[in-house]
Amino acid sequence: MHSVPWEARPLIEHALLRPSLPLHPSRGLIRDDGDDNLGPSWWEDLSQNTNKEWDVPTNRRSHESTYFYTEIVDPKSNNSRVMREWMIVSGGFTDDDFCSFPVWALDLNQVRDLEENRTLAGNSRKSPWMQLDQGIRSTGKHLSDPLSTNCGHPHTSDSTRAPERPPGRMGHLTGVGKDGTLFVIGGLRVHNELFSFADHGDKLTIWSAPILPALLGDEMSKLQWTRTSNYTTNNSPPIRSLVAGGVWREENKIVFHGGVDMGSEVSVYNDIWAFSMNDMTFQKLSEQSSSSDHKVMPSKRAAHKGAFANNTFFLFGGMAISEAKEGAYLDQYHSSWSTLSDVWEFHVGDGKWTQRKVTPQLSRAYHSLEVAQDGSLISYGGNRRGQTMTGEAVAYVYGDLMILEQGSSRWMKITMPPSSEPLSKGPQFRFDHTSIYDRLGNLFVW
């Protein structure tokens, strides 16, 4: 069976969910029952509180999200300083749209307000969703057709055309700097029914746009995108997609590992880089290596997940390529992938990797991974490639919520407590989704 990481994408019903109570062991909201199951926190389907008149994002896959929070002076609270928080969702694709790059923001403060005021009439409640950019770009004097899989050239130069903006993409990475600027790195697009890098050419391109004015309610504010592509092989990583990354908030950087180059030859990486959101420069934190180097570090991989906290980059799972050659798939290559189960930590202080020896070994790709304030890892869903007894390729999709506590060597599963009946059964089986973990210990999955 010809296989690449993009294969086996079932139509999955989407919902934005989070645990109804924070997933934070130190607060006593998670208990260990002795059977590797945790409780009593459970999921709540936020879409049930959605007004039909509200503008909400359409179901998407292979999108990306990042968490942004900042303190502002609130005139409604006697000019006191208040914390505002958002989940920023971008890109991805649907069965009908491969070309657009929409950007949405979920106002987490508004989500909490809705929960506290459930008795208010639906029309009097403000939607927590805000569309920051429709993501439809111009290919000439007319808007590109989002239904087409031929998305055209990603850049415009003619003054009669619409301003530049990122072309549609999937498998990209995002982060928001302390000043409220959104950065977009890498990703893939569909052109003539083939996957290629989202940005035309062989140079790494960074897209950035200030989003804070729009987040704070400036209805006249439109995202003004800037494209930066003056990087060289000496000062930046090779172009890639399907990386694992996280935001290093203290240093205002995006840290990312691995990924894949889906060019004429398959290149999979295991180096680690930091992108500064202050001056838009790259810093290599760990070199690329092969198994023959005998270095203690993760193998080359893509479709894995990472998170950053306490000067440590955490990594879990992904897909490794076992063979690659020029061939038939998408007229580019034929490859064979295996799903990984290992857990790693990269310590930026000494630049060294440490592998966590954990059980059971959970092979996952296209899952989500977050790190809690106490250092616990939280993973949801994902898929795994395998074989039947007859050797036929098969893909498994998961719907479990797993916790690996700091210092622990065992994954534990959160199960629905009896007291939650008849509440939501949770997001169910899915992969290629995205998640964030907020300051209050709430996990959001979309």
Q: Provide CB contacts within 8 A for 218, sequence distance 6+.
A: none
pLDDT at residue 218 in the model: 76
Q: Return the pLDDT at 146.
A: 42
What mean pLDDT do residues 248-259 have? 97
Q: 307 versus 134: which is more confidently predicted?
A: 307
What per-residue confidence (pLDDT) applies to 48?
67
Judged against a pLDDT cut of 90, whether residue 434 lies above it is answered with yes
Bigger pLDDT: 214 vs 233: 214
Amino acid 256: pLDDT: 97
Q: How confident is the model over 348-357, as a mean pLDDT? A: 95
Which pLDDT band holds residue 389 (cuts at 50, 70, 90)?
A: confident
Q: State mean pLDDT over 357-371.
A: 95
- What is the average pLDDT score of the chain? 78
Please tell me the predicted confidence (pLDDT) of residue 315: 98
Give the per-residue pLDDT at 220.
64
pLDDT at 156 over 80: no
Q: Which residue has the higher pLDDT, 334 or 80?
A: 80
Mean pLDDT of 381-392: 82
Place of tokens 């990354």: 245
pLDDT of residue 233: 79
pLDDT score at 98: 81
What is the structure's pLDDT at 194? 62
Among the residue ranges 84-93, 167-176, 319-328, 335-344, the one predicted with the least confidence is 319-328
Model confidence at 19, pLDDT cuts 50, 70, 90, reads: low
Q: Average the pLDDT over each of 2-16, 107-121, 352-366 and give the range with the smallest value.
A: 2-16
- As a whole-number percent, the residues of the chain with pLDDT over 70 amount to 71
Who has greater pLDDT, 30 or 360?
A: 360
CA dihedral 210, 215, 220, 221 (to 10 degrees): 0
Name the pairing type of β-strands 226-228 and 206-210: antiparallel
The whole-number pLDDT of residue 7 equals 33
Banded pLDDT at 294 (limits 50, 70, 90): low
pLDDT value, residue 323? 57
Q: What is the mean pLDDT of residues 371-381?
A: 93
Taking 80 as the threshold, does the pLDDT of residue 111 lie above it? yes
Judge whether residue 106 has pLDDT over 60.
Answer: yes
Q: pLDDT per residue over 47-73, tens digit each?
A: 766 677 788 888 889 999 999 999 988
* Residue 420 in this model has a pLDDT that exceeds 60: no
Domains by residue range for the chain, with CATH = 17-445 (2.120.10.80)
Least confident of 4-8, 248-252, 294-298: 4-8
Kindly state the average pLDDT of the residues 27-53: 55
Span of 176-185, 242-251, 365-374, 393-402 with lowest mean pLDDT: 393-402
Look at residue 192 in the predicted model and tell me its pLDDT: 58
Q: Is the pLDDT of residue 332 over 80?
A: no
What pLDDT score does 108 carry? 92
Cα pseudo-dihedral 71, 73, 75, 80, rounded to 10: 90
The whole-number pLDDT of residue 76 equals: 72
Averaged pLDDT for residues 262-277: 88
